[in-house]
């Protein structure tokens, strides 16, 4: 079963993205061949541009995205590019991985008393590295405290 693309006239895609037809001619579906990091991205050349098969399937079966910056995302990677497995989502979201935001360690947070002690040590002339090692933080954090001290 095929559906036509809502904006590209003459383009139709089947329900799982194995066939893409433009103006009656089947387009060659290629897989991205990366040597460093493997990927299962499938794409076609259409009017001189590379178009993701997942994006085309999602556009044909679910319509255009509400936000043009959103991309076609798979619910379960192993289930392939079937339209029931695809949905529009903001870039960077992956339902299998969850959010990839780095959680800041609570151990690296400095209390207000620690900041006052660090400011005293900075005025006494101690080095950034020595102070950072004592508090288990980076020398960049100590540098920022010094900049704040100079600003105030």
pLDDT tens digits for range 76-123: 888 889 999 999 998 877 776 665 555 555 555 788 899 999 999 999
Q: Rounded distance, CA 73 to CA 93, Å? A: 8
Q: Rounded distance, CA 82 to CA 59, Å? A: 12
The domain 2-89: what is its CATH number?
Answer: 3.90.75.20
Q: For residue 144, is pLDDT > 60?
A: yes
Q: Rounded distance, CA 77 to CA 94, Å? A: 10
pLDDT tens digits for range 34-92: 888 888 889 999 989 999 999 999 999 999 999 989 999 998 888 889 999 999 998 87
Q: Rounded distance, CA 62 to CA 42, Å? A: 19
Per-residue pLDDT, 25: 94
Per-residue pLDDT, 9: 93
């Amino acid at each position: 079963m095929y559906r036509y693309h809502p904006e590209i006239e003459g383009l139709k895609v089947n329900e799982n993205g194995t066939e893409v037809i433009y103006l009656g001619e089947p387009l060659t579906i290629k897989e991205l061949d990366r040597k460093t990091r493997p990927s299962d991205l499938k794409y076609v050349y259409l009017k001189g541009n590379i178009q993701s098969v997942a994006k085309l399937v999602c556009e044909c079966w679910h319509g255009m995205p509400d936000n043009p910056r959103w991309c076609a995302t798979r619910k379960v990677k192993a289930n392939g590019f079937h339209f029931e497995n695809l949905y529009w989502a903001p870039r960077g979201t992956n339902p299998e991985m969850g959010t990839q935001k780095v959680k800041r360690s609570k151990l690296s947070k400095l209390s207000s008393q620690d900041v006052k002690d660090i400011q005293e040590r900075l005025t006494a002339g101690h080095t950034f590295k020595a102070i950072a090692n004592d508090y288990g933080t980076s020398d960049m954090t100590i540098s920022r405290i010094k900049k704040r001290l100079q600003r105030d």
